[in-house]
Structures are given as C-alpha cells and as structure tokens.
C-alpha cells in the first residue's frame, strides 16, 4: 500500500510517499524558516502563505521522486493537529481535495504521535540516507516527543493506543532552547546552535536546574530559561561570562531531566524500549547520554535519523498506514 503523506503544521511544507508503513519512496521538505529568522520565531501568517504557494509543487515532487503517479497511490494522509491553524488548513484542504477527487481514503492524523513514527521507517535503496541495518523498535514502548511545540511522554501499547503519561506544564523543550538562544543573541532556531556551542563549554562550573516535579512525568522548562536570563543580567559584563559554558550548563540540565523522566516512565510501565521523536531528538547530547544510560539499564533506545527528527511527511504517511491496519483488524 502506497500512502502519500502531507505535513503543513508549522513552517515546513512536506510530502512523502511511504510503502506499507515502512519504506520511504520519497520525502520532500520545503521550509520558509529563513524568512522567519529575522523575527526570532515562526510568523504563522508568513508560514501559511508560503505553504499555499509551494504545496502543489512539493506534492508533485514527492510523486516524481517515488517514480509514481496519483493512480499508484492507495490512500492519503495529512496532519490534522496540532499546529498553526492557517498552516494546517493548507495541507488539510489540499489532502481532502485529493481524496475527494480520486475517491481514495484520507487518514487525518496527530502530528505529535506521528513524530514517534519516524523511528519505524526505513529508506528505499535509492534514497540518499541508507536503510538502517538494525531491527526497528518493538512495542510496547515509552515514546518521548521533544520538539519546538511539545514535550510529552506516552506509553505506546500499540500504534492505535497512545496513553499520555506526562507533558510540559509550560514551555516545550525546543522552545526553551529557542528562548535561551534568543537571550544569548544566538539566533533562531536555538537548538542546533546551543548543541554546537555546548561542546566547547563542557564541564562548566555553572549550574542551572529544571523544576524536578518529583513523582510526576510532567516537565517544566520556563524556570530554567528565566534562570539563564537572570544569570546574563548579573554577569554579562563580567570576565566569567562565557556563552559556551552557559549553553553547556543549560543543555546538560534539560537533557538530564528528559533522561530521568524516560527512565521513570520505563519503570512505571515495566517497559524496556524508548522511542524518541521531534526536533530536539537531533540533540547530540540527548542522543549520546540517553543511549548510554539506557544501555546501563538494559533498555533499547531508538532515535530517528537526523533528517526525520524535523517535521516531515514520511512520518505522517507511515503512521497513517498503521492506523488503517488497526481499523481493518478491529472492524
Ligand atoms: O519537530 P520540530 O521540527 O518542529 C516542531 O514540531 O516544533 O522541532 C523544532 C525544534 C526547535 O525548537 C529547535 O530549536 C529544536 O527543535 N532543535 C534542537 C536541535 N535541532 C532542532 N534542539 C536541541 N538540539 C538540537 N540539535
Ligand atoms: Zn513537529
């Protein structure tokens, strides 16, 4: 079954064709990110206008890269929520029109849950990123979604049953990276630049802490952002002020709390698999430290390849296939 996925929840306009929920035949992502950078964050109005202009070309490019025509597509999938309403409407309207005109099913899916699905995909042999040699994750698992808009922990019994275990009570982890980068004048998005800078500030003697919210699987990242702001206000004219060390200390604390909550979720649900998704899943420290700690606890941890951590439509198409299979098996 070939599913054509469409994703337009934020600044990316993406389309992909995925075969049988697993093999990526094409994966096209166009982004208006550069236009937003001067404002220090995504401007929804600009994002949706660019999406209207590019959606058709992006979908056509996805079909072309897959060497398929619309006749070879068996179903369509689209991100239904959450996201910027104007952006979502572009993808939704386009996908609904395609489905209506071709009389083929449309599966509307949740963007956050789709991020997790990036771990279950492989690339077709002619795609630029080679297929992973290791077997994919097995459910049940703990799913950690860390992006610019969301930080959530799920218990994944199967693809149709995601139980929310905890989430952020204020800022998302990626949002904290972005806001701290803005405080330190590092530009937008903040995640990649803080990740890089933190390598130079290793083992800094500064400490910032995230609220632990003991005993819960919830997160809070707004306090640490304010702590960085106060630190800057106090020390920015002093000799000890070192942006790399601040980046390291901030990242170290965020990564630690993400790891601790994942382990707690595994203990609570008696699960030995963790799957991570979302933009912050690209963070090198999170990838390394969570993999090491998980190995110490005999837990298997999975991260998507870097190209599938950011918003993309392959994860949408892949997830939709499993929803469809579930519906088929239960009706
Ligand atoms: O999943 P995504 O592309 O969009 C949302 O659904 O939000 O995530 C974007 C977020 C941004 O906040 C960005 O700063 C963060 O992911 N990010 C990172 C890294 N790369 C991107 N955060 C930490 N380390 C990174 N290497
Ligand atoms: Zn996302």
Distance CA 258, CA 151 (A): 9
Sheet containing 2-7: give its strands across.
Answer: 106-110, 75-81, 2-7, 12-19, 23-31, 122-123
Mean pLDDT for the chain? 94
What is the predicted pLDDT for the residue at 195? 98
Query: Residue 2 in contact with residue 25, Cβ under 8 Å?
Result: yes
Instruction: Tell whether the model's pLDDT for residue 157 goes beyond 80.
Output: yes
Q: How confident is the model at residue 129 (pLDDT cuts 50, 70, 90)?
A: low
For the domain spanning 141-303, the CATH number is 3.30.420.40
> 112 C-alpha vs ligand 2 centroid, how far in Å?
6
Torsion sign over Cα 287, 47, 3, 323: positive
Q: What residue's CA is closest to ligand 1, atom 23?
A: 191
Query: Residue 314 in contact with residue 27, Cβ under 8 Å?
Result: yes
Instruction: Tell whether the model's pLDDT for residue 331 goes beyond 90.
Output: no
The b-or-e profile of 76-90 (16+ CB within 10 A means b, else e) is bbbbbeebbebbbeb
Q: What is the pLDDT of residues 271-327, one digit of tens each?
A: 999 999 999 999 999 999 999 999 999 999 999 999 999 999 999 999 999 988 888
Q: How confident is the model at residue 328 (pLDDT cuts 50, 70, 90)?
A: confident
Q: Quick one: 101 exposed, middle or buried, by C-beta within 10 A (0-12, 13-18, 19+)? A: exposed
Q: How confident is the model at residue 128 (pLDDT cuts 50, 70, 90)?
A: low
Q: What residue's CA is closest to ligand 1, atom 2?
A: 279
Whether the ω angle into residue 140 lies within 30 degrees of 0, i.e. cis, is yes
β-bridge pairing 141-146 and 273-277 = parallel
Place of tokens 């972005």: 178
Instruction: Tell whether the model's pLDDT for residue 132 goes beyond 60.
Output: no
What is the predicted pLDDT for the residue at 131? 56
> Is the pTM higher than 0.85?
yes
| Among 125-139, 223-237, 268-282, 294-308, the least confident range | 125-139
- Name the CA radius of gyration of the chain, rounded: 20
> 42 C-alpha vs ligand 1 centroid, how far in Å?
12
Distance CA 28, CA 59 (A): 8
Q: How confident is the model at residue 40 (pLDDT cuts 50, 70, 90)?
A: confident
Ligand 1: which residues within 6 Å by Cβ? Answer: 10, 147-149, 174-175, 177-178, 189-192, 195, 278-280, 282-283, 310-311
Q: What residue's CA is closest to ligand 1, atom 19?
A: 191
The b-or-e profile of 122-150 (16+ CB within 10 A means b, else e) is bbbeebeeeeeeeeebeebbbbbbbbbbb
**2-121+308-329: what fold?**
Nucleotidyltransferase; domain 5 (3.30.420)
> 204 C-alpha vs ligand 1 centroid, how far in Å?
24
Q: What is the DSSP letter of 1?
A: -
What integer is the mean pLDDT of 222-246? 94
Give the ligand with the smallest distance to the CA of 280.
1
Q: What is the pLDDT of residues 108-121, one digit of tens each?
A: 999 999 999 999 99
Q: Where in the chain is CATH 3.30.420.40?
A: 2-121+308-329, 141-303
């Amino acid at each position: 079954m070939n599913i054509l996925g469409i994703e337009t929840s934020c600044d990316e306009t993406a389309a992909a064709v995925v075969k049988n929920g697993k093999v990526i035949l094409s994966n096209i992502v166009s982004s208006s990110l550069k236009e937003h950078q001067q404002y220090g964050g995504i401007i929804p109005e600009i994002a949706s206008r660019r999406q209207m202009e590019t959606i058709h070309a992006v979908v056509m490019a996805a079909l072309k890269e897959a060497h398929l025509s619309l006749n070879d597509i068996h179903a369509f999938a689209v991100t239904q929520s959450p996201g910027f309403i104007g952006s979502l409407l572009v993808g939704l309207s386009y996908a609904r029109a395609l489905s209506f005109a071709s009389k083929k099913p449309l599966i509307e899916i949740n963007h956050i849950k789709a991020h997790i699905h990036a771990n279950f995909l492989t690339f077709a042999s002619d795609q630029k990123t080679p297929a992973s040699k290791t077997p994919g994750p097995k459910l049940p698992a703990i799913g950690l979604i860390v992006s610019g808009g969301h930080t959530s922990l799920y218990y994944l019994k199967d693809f149709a049953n995601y139980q929310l275990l905890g989430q952020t009570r204020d800022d998302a982890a990626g949002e904290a990276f972005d806001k701290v980068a803005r405080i330190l004048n590092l530009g937008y998005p903040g995640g990649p630049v803080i990740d890089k800078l933190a390598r130079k500030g290793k083992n800094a003697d500064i400490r910032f802490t995230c609220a632990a919210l003991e005993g819960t699987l919830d997160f809070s990242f707004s306090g640490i952002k304010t702590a960085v702001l106060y630190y800057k206000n106090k020390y920015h004219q002093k000799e000890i002020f070192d942006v790399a060390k601040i980046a390291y200390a901030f990242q170290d604390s965020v990564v630690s709390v993400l790891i601790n909550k994942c382990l707690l979720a595994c203990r609570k649900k008696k699960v030995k698999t963790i799957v991570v998704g979302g933009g912050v899943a690209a963070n090198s420290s999170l990838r390394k430290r969570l993999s090491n700690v998980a190995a110490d606890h005999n837990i298997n941890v999975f991260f998507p390849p870097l190209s599938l951590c950011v918003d993309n439509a392959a994860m949408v198409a892949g997830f939709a296939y499993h929803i469809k299979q579930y519906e088929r098996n239960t009706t």
